[in-house]
Amino acid sequence: MSEPRRLLVALAGTEDGSLAAQVAQVVGSGEPALVMTLLHVAESGPKELVGPDPALRRGLWPLPRRDAIERRLAEADDEEAAALLALWRDRLASAMPGASLELLVARGRPEQEIVAAAARLNVDAVILCARPRSGPTEPGPRSVGHVARFVLDHSPVPVLLVRRTG
């Protein structure tokens, strides 16, 4: 019996609802063996900008300790990631009933974590969506966001870039 195909699907939360159908159309229903790891990266950078500034907070004094703030922010990120991954697990399971789906949350810079996960998990390909654009898409390197550009340039495996339909 041959090894299953392994795909890494990077999810940011801005993906078009048709992603599951588009992926199923390209890779099939999951038969023979297909293992898809759904990855969401909780970006760590912006939290460093959030401080316990008294002018920005309401509530009792003294100010909460920094580790308590960071813990609450991490818990919120975990809840958001769990909800996002559960939603896409259900969508992909219905579009690709033969696929085995795994969930993974990473912390850090999305572009670096996606490339690192692709190498670490020994996947055959990475699937990600181009960020939604507000205007017309111009050809060339600016046709995708910085995360997709980095993954396209540094991925150790082929990348399937899915564009928003419509």
pLDDT tens digits, one per residue of 92-140 = 999 988 899 999 999 999 999 999 999 999 999 999 987 766 666 666 6
For residue 120, the cross-strand partners are none
pLDDT of residue 162: 86
Strand partners, 6: 35
β-pairing, 5-10 vs 34-43, is parallel
Give the least confident one: 48-52, 59-63, 64-68, 162-166. Answer: 48-52
Helices 110-120/146-154 angle, 10° precision: 30
**pLDDT the model gives residue 165:** 62
DSSP letter string, 64-109? PPHHHHHHHHHHHHHHHHHHHHHHHHHHHHHH-TT-EEEEEEEEE-
CA dist 10 and 113 (Å) reads 10
User: What are 39-61's pLDDT values in tens digits?
Assistant: 999 887 655 555 555 555 556 65
pLDDT (mean) for 66-94: 88
Give first-to-last CA distance, the chain, whole Å.
40
